[in-house]
Amino acid sequence: MIQEQWLPVARDKVFAFFADAGNLDAITPPWLHFHVVTPEPLTLQSGALIDYRLRVHGMPMRWQSEITVWEPARRFVDVQRRGPYRWWVHEHCFEERDGGTLIRDKVEYAVPGWLLEPLVNRWLVAPDLRKIFAHRQARIEELMCSPSPSSVERTRRSTGRHVR
């Protein structure tokens, strides 16, 4: 799966937003009940491990990602070490384009299910991922392109989520 989003924001600022793991709570859909459980301060760099807690279709899950590639302002890669997928690799790329930043997310994954894997992916996982990334894009645009800091504060108050 590949998703792209252009923002009229400098690449360094966009990367800094993504480099703060605390912002994951703010861009993840509320229906996932997603929370980073790794204690702060959490410095993202190659080899960093991040633990999360979430719910998928009401089922509580834990997820651990490792940052395997860290190239500040250009890209980073997180790989699931423990979680709901058999395999998950998410590459985040940031490219200067047209006076702003093109964010490119490339996700490669495999779901559990053995013989049922194609059905599990088609009917559950792929639609969920499309919804999650659509929500994420809308939140990123709202938070990064907000005309004033007060809208970020309103978001924090209405969702109870930490935004940096």
**For residue range 85-103, what is the model confidence (pLDDT) as tens digits?**
999 999 999 999 999 999 9
In tens, the pLDDT along 116-140 reads 999 999 999 999 999 999 999 999 9
SS3 9: coil
β-pair partners for 4: 104
Q: What pTM did the predictor assign?
A: 0.87
Q: Identify the pLDDT of residue 96.
A: 98
Rounded Cα gap, residues 144 and 164, in angstroms: 10
Confidence category of residue 148, pLDDT binned at 50, 70, 90? low
Per DSSP (E only), the strands in 10-150 are 35-36, 49-56, 59-71, 75-82, 87-97, 100-110
Helix axes 126-144, 149-159, angle to 10 degrees: 140
Helix axes 11-19, 126-144, angle to 10 degrees: 120
Question: Tokens in use for 111?
Answer: 């779901």
Rounded Cα gap, residues 10 and 82, in angstroms: 34
Domains of the chain with bracketed CATH? 2-159 (3.30.530.20)
